[in-house]
Structure 1
Amino acid sequence: MSEANFSLNAQNRTLEGKGASRRLRRLEARIPAVIYGGEAAAQSISIELRELSKALENEAFYSHVLTISVDGKAQKVVLKALQRHPVKSMPIHADFLRVDATHKLTMRVPLHFTNQDICVGVKKEGGEIAHMLNDVEVSCLPKDLPEFIEVDMANVALGTTLHLSDLVLPKGVEVPVLALGHDHDQPVANVHTPKVAAAVEDTDAPAAPEPEAE
């Protein structure tokens, strides 16, 4: 788990509905959000747009246990859903899930591909790296939640595909979809022959003899 600490200040929100949410964004520069989960009831809140936008600039924010203080009362949560404006890309609503230290979380965390510049299949065999996944769903206790999963490409040869089962996971972290069987072991990345090179090889291949006229 990353040592980064993320804290947000929020206020209780009593007015709900599309009209109230629009006024909140336009007049107060705040966005509506909700905190749910655990034994407590769902709680409607609002967060200052500038504060949330700044936090969202850090990739770790999306896969980290956060602290939200609602009118001075702190709660541990994770970001479960974020809606953005379709044109401006600014956040317009957020869902936060309460965290229980004794219960496992299911979260998506980013994949970080390392050593791509020294990948055997690229440097020695002339291949190209392709990423099939950019993040992965993991299950773990809150204390074990990783900021990201590292995928080391150094020794990946041409024609090789890495799958979910090849990921080196931190202690206490699982990929739940793998429990569903081999068919769910998705490809993560591979090293393949560049399309241009493949096309040249096809061109250089000997042409098939034409049939003789009768």
Structure 2
Amino acid sequence: MYLRRQILTKALQLHQRHLSQAAAAILHPESPGVGSYTYLDDLPRPDPKYDEIILAIPRTSSGKSIAAKERKAGRVPSIVFEQEDGQHGGNKRLISVRTNQIRKLVNHLGRSFFLSRIFDLEVRAEFESEEVVEKVRVLPRLLHLHASTDAPLNVTFVRAPSHALLKVNVPLVFRGEDVCPGLRKGSSLNTIKRTVKYLCPADIVPPYIDVDLSELDVGQKLVMGDLKVHPALKLLQSKDEPVCKIMGARASDQQKKSK
């Protein structure tokens, strides 16, 4: 029975890998091969200034008391998951990372930008040890911060090999406010979305998406389908969902101003 379960599990893993690679080929069929994606010159790419290896040590058990001890010792209880689509459990490793390192990265990048960036993660026997247990590329999936202090409480990572397809909430960066026709007329920007969810090949996860406001007039809006991204990214929300709108003054407000 045990051997049969092992065989079925292996068959399922191979099937999931095949589906993942097939999906990647569909997303970008002209690509010479899965995992060969590169960032395009006119689109945002990760700033090498924040390239950093996240150091971790193995953790043998979990639970509230263990997590409390880890935090007291200056460590963040964390976990690394893997599945071929990069989303769910499997190959779970319990780890702890340094609180100061995670706090620094989150402060420098911003929370949503931290969650849309690929990092190298190095699991060592001890933080100061030269013995590397595992070295892997990861995407932070979840980050819990303390409500009062913003101290990191726990982090969930997913492994991000080149063949992985990752669901990412990519942050939006709004540009062109200074020349936006609608804003120059005194209207206001109604920001409806701060992030947009895409299925991204692991090699080209965008750090953010530029939203160009430079041609928007009063009453005009941008929808998700208007966003300029790498053609291999698949939008996981409706392309007609609004991202932002230039809101004009209400008629009652204009009447007050004219009096």
TM-score exceeds 0.5: yes
Matches of residues 1-214 of structure 1 in structure 2 within 5 Å?
1-4=45-48, 5-26=51-72, 28-38=73-83, 41-57=91-107, 58-59=109-110, 60-71=113-124, 72=132, 73-123=134-184, 125-178=185-238, 185-194=240-249, 198-201=251-254
* Distance (whole Å) between structure 2 residues aligned to residue 155 and residue 38 of structure 1: 42
Q: Which sections of structure 2, spanning at least 5 residues, go unmatched?
A: 1-44, 85-89, 125-131
Q: Structure 1 residue 100: deviation in Å?
A: 2.6
Q: Select the structure of larger CA radius of gyration.
A: 1
Q: Deviations over 1:5-58 (max 9, x none)?
A: 2310000001321011101111x1111000011376200000111111111121
Tell me the C-alpha RMSD between the 2 structures: 2.0
1:203–1:91 CA distance, 2 compared to 1 (3 A): same
SS in 1 for 2:237: helix
TM-score (norm 2): 0.70
Aligned to 2:6: none
TM-score, reference length from structure 1: 0.84
Change beyond 3 A, Cα 1:204–1:69: closer
The 8 Å contact of residues 36 and 98 in structure 1, kept in 2 or not, is answered as yes
Does the 8 Å contact 2:120/2:137 carry over to 1? yes
Q: Which residue identity is paired with 2:68?
A: R
- The answer to whether the Cα contact below 8 Å between 1:68 and 1:76 also exists between their aligned partners in 2 is yes
Question: How far apart, CA to CA, are the structure 2 residues paired with 1:21 and 1:122?
Answer: 48
Unpaired runs of 5+ residues, structure 1, are 179-183, 206-214
Gap change, CA 1:95 and 1:201, over 3 Å in 2: same
The alpha-carbon deviation at position 104 of structure 1 amounts to 1.5
Percent identity over paired residues? 22
Aligned partners of 2:231, 2:201: CA distance in 1, in Å? 11
User: Equivalents in 1 of 2:58, 2:218: separation in Å?
Assistant: 55
Task: Tell me the matched-pair count.
Answer: 196
